[in-house]
């Protein structure tokens, strides 16, 4: 077992949404260096075909691996749904997606085995959550629902108030009468709508935040396999985007509740 590995953790998402996962990594693993790639030129992934999301995921992975990362986090539900297995096969470092941790947590949480999944169209179409949960417990009943408008709402910062509530009520009416006791927030942006979603679903439905579960999993893996960072001194926190660093900083700092000090615009497709 390796006792120490001071290389950074690589994290990618289609844009800013994966910062919800990064924020949890900062909280759970404050000593780790990180490199975050937001593919802001090609966001959103949630409305694209599986082939396209797969290609984008490989290009993002190639960029991060070239930076010498010790572990890769696919901090995007859509990319995890479509490309996790293929990416895992193609690299020699551990790869964590957000689906498995969320699925495991949902099963731990549910009492009546009725679980709701909300996500982008591509995530719901892939049935990745359903397959993962069913592989762990065949008797679980899964109700999936795409909520595409939640992403632009969050991007606009409309996470509370009338508009968010009306949109949430409209979407979630499609799942509210199913008797679920657990709802997986199967998209990076949705944790920011937790209050509104919780209000609409009511107190008997527990919400699963994949970002929190993923960070816990990364910690376990680093402890077990790859080694944690043991260097004294502050970890480095680098950000790369494929377009509009200014917008990323503006929205990203709100997500992270901290300053983004190092950011660079790069091209990943080659
Ligand atoms: N990051 C995406 C996800 O978690 C949401 C935004 C997008 O569609 O690219 O599915």
Q: Which of 17, 193, 211 to mutate to test the pocket of ligand 1 (most atoms within 8 A of CB)?
A: 17
CA distance 189 to 211: 10
Q: Is 151 in the pocket of ligand 1 (CB under 6 A)?
A: yes
Q: What is the mean pLDDT of residues 179-184?
A: 98
Q: What is the mean pLDDT of residues 127-135?
A: 97
Closest alpha carbon to 18 in 230, 191, 262? 191
Q: What is the pLDDT of residues 198-224, one digit of tens each?
A: 999 999 999 999 889 899 999 999 998
Domains observed in the chain = 2-98+212-265 (3.40.50.1860), 100-210 (3.40.50.1860)
| Burial degree of 68 (CB within 10 A; 0-12, 13-18, 19+) | exposed
- What's the pLDDT at 10? 98
- For residue 183, what pLDDT band results from cuts at 50, 70 and 90? very high
State pLDDT tens for residues 54-79: 999 999 999 999 999 999 999 999 99
Say what the pLDDT of residue 70 is: 95
Does the Cβ of 14 fall within 6 Å of ligand 1?
yes
User: Taking the model in full, what pTM does it have?
Assistant: 0.93
Pocket lining: 43 vs ligand 1, CB cutoff 6 Å: yes
pLDDT of residue 230: 85
pLDDT above 70 for 153:
yes
């Amino acid at each position: 077992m390796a006792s120490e590995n001071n290389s950074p953790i690589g994290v990618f998402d289609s844009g800013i949404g994966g910062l919800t996962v990064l924020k949890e990594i900062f909280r759970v693993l404050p000593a780790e260096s990180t490199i975050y790639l937001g593919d802001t030129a090609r966001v959103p992934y949630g409305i694209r075909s599986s082939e396209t999301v797969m290609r984008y995921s490989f290009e993002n992975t190639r960029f991060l691996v070239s930076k010498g990362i010790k572990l890769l986090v696919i901090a995007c539900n859509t990319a995890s749904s479509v490309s996790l297995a293929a990416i895992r096969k193609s690299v020699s470092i551990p790869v964590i997606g957000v689906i498995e941790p969320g699925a495991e947590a949902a099963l731990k949480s549910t009492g009546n085995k009725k679980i709701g999944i909300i996500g982008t169209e591509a995530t719901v179409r892939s049935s990745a959550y359903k397959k993962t949960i069913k592989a762990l417990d065949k008797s679980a009943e899964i109700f999936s629902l795409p909520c595409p408008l939640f992403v632009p709402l969050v991007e606009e910062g409309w996470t509370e108030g009338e508009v968010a509530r009306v949109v949430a009520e409209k979407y979630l009416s499609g799942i509210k009468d199913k008797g679920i006791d657990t709802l997986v927030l199967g998209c990076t942006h949705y944790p920011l709508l937790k209050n509104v979603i919780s209000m609409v679903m009511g107190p008997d439905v527990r919400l699963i935040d994949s970002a929190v579960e993923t960070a816990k999993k990364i910690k376990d893996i680093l402890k077990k396999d790859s080694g944690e960072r043991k260097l004294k001194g502050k970890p480095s926190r680098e950000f790369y985007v494929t377009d509009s660093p200014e917008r990323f900083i503006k929205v990203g700092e709100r997500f992270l509740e901290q300053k983004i000090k190092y950011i660079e615009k790069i091209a990943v497709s080659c």
